[in-house]
Amino acid sequence: MRTTILAVMAAGAISTIGLGQGIVRAWGWNEYGQSIVPADLGPCTAVAAGQRHTVALRTDGIVRAWGLNDYGQCNVPADLGLCTAVTVGGYHTVALRTDGIVRAWGYNNAGQCNVPADLGPCTAVAGGWYHTVALRTDACDSSQDYNANGIPDDCECVADLNNDRSVNGADLGDLLAYWGPTTSSAASQRADLNRDGYVNADDLGYLLSRWGPCTN
């Protein structure tokens, strides 16, 4: 059965990663297992490939990494939390948390994992061979921050619950599925768009106001 690749590809030095309909596929050189997708990975929204390691962001915000781990680039920090983006350099890994905080780990010969103390919340990250780049949220024009996470709404797609870059019927269904007091599950908490402890009409109204493709 063919898997449709939806314009999400990552090329490592000697391997290729594809993401289609949430399914991660990998091929190429596999000496360090970088092309063996974990059987329990689950659906994902983003992938990145380094020199000899692979990173994926699951739909629930969990980061997974596999392949060569000589500098700890596959050791996802236990306290990382939920993330919205991942990127890699040659031998280091970078993640952007849902609160806009940037975390980096792995090879640090040029300080590529030393996140500046005054960086502040960000909305995008990118990794080079021996360097890392982040876009701070103050590059955005809007001061609206509906979910109170320190990131202006114009810098993120708050109501895109399934991370498919569009606010649509699938997100509406997810929100309605968790209607009422939030639980300990990540999906329930994500549906509580304004973080007030309830998935209710306030969240529904905001979701409908953001209907359509994500523009940020």
**149-166, pLDDT tens digit by residue?**
777 887 788 899 887 888
The residue written with tokens 């300080």 in the block is: 111
Going by C-alpha positions, the residue among 125, 48, 56, 120 that lies closest to residue 90 is 48
Same domain, yes or no: 121 and 173 = no
Same domain, 103 and 198: no
Q: 204 and 126 in one domain?
A: no
At how many degrees (to 10) do helices 169-177 and 201-209 cross? Answer: 170
Element of type H or E holding 177? helix 169-177
Residue the block writes with tokens 């921050």: 145
* Nearest CA among 34, 38, 32 for reference residue 48: 34
* Domains identified in the chain, total number: 2
- Domain assignment present for 148: no
Q: Are residues 122 and 200 in the same domain?
A: no
CATH of the domain at 123: 2.130.10.30
Quote the Cα angle for 40-49-76, to 5°.
55
Q: Are 61 and 98 in contact (CB under 8 A)?
A: yes
72 and 171 both lie in a single domain = no
* Confidence (pLDDT) at 214: 82
Is 208 part of any domain? yes
- Same domain assignment for residues 23 and 125: yes
Domain that holds residue 73: 8-139
What does the pLDDT look like over 193-214, one tens digit per residue? Answer: 998 999 999 999 999 998 988 8
Residues 25 and 77: their CA atoms lie apart, in Å, by 24
What is the pTM assigned to this prediction? Answer: 0.67
- Whether 144 maps to a domain, the answer reads no
pLDDT digits (tens, 9 = 90+) for 71-108: 999 999 999 999 989 999 999 999 999 888 999 999 99
Domain identity same for 117 and 181: no
Is 19 found in the same domain as 77?
yes
Instruction: Say if CB 37 and CB 25 are below 8 A apart.
Output: yes
Continuous segment of H or E residues that includes residue 87: strand 83-88
